[in-house]
Amino acid sequence: MSIWWSLHLRREAASVPLARKLLLGTMETAGVDPEIAHDLSLALTEACANAVEHGGSEGAGENYRVTAFIDGDTCRIEVTDSGPGFTRSPGGCDHLAPGTGGRPA
């Protein structure tokens, strides 16, 4: 089964549980293992909360987007916002450990 959806949400705290519930329902429908579904929904919750808090200046970025794609053993979840991001250090990311998602080790 292949499922894809995308939401445009207001940067408000109430949008976070909405995104989480939709993802959990989608994963249940797709037959995703409940433990994996829980872990992914927790990661989505953190990413959405970050977008709500840091996703852009007032007026310029009042919304953020959540996109989910589930196909067999593949699950891709994206949270995008209008925030400024961060500046990478000169010389790349050699000081970051693999699997840290851009965070210092």
Q: Where are the domains of the chain?
A: 2-80
pTM comes to: 0.77
Instruction: Give the Cα separation of 101 and 79 in Å (integer).
Output: 14
Q: What per-residue confidence (pLDDT) applies to 2?
A: 92
Task: State the CB neighbour count (10 A cutoff) for residue 101.
Answer: 7
- For residue 1, give both structure tokens: 């089964």
Q: What per-residue confidence (pLDDT) applies to 85?
A: 74
Which CATH fold topology does 2-80 show? Heat Shock Protein 90 (3.30.565)
Q: What per-residue confidence (pLDDT) applies to 56?
A: 77
Residues 6+ apart with CB under 8 A from 24: 37, 41
Q: What residues of the chain score a pLDDT lower than 50?
A: 105
Instruction: Give the Cα separation of 38 and 29 in Å (integer).
Output: 14
Q: What per-residue confidence (pLDDT) applies to 104?
A: 52
| CA Rg value for the chain | 15
Q: What per-residue confidence (pLDDT) applies to 34?
A: 96
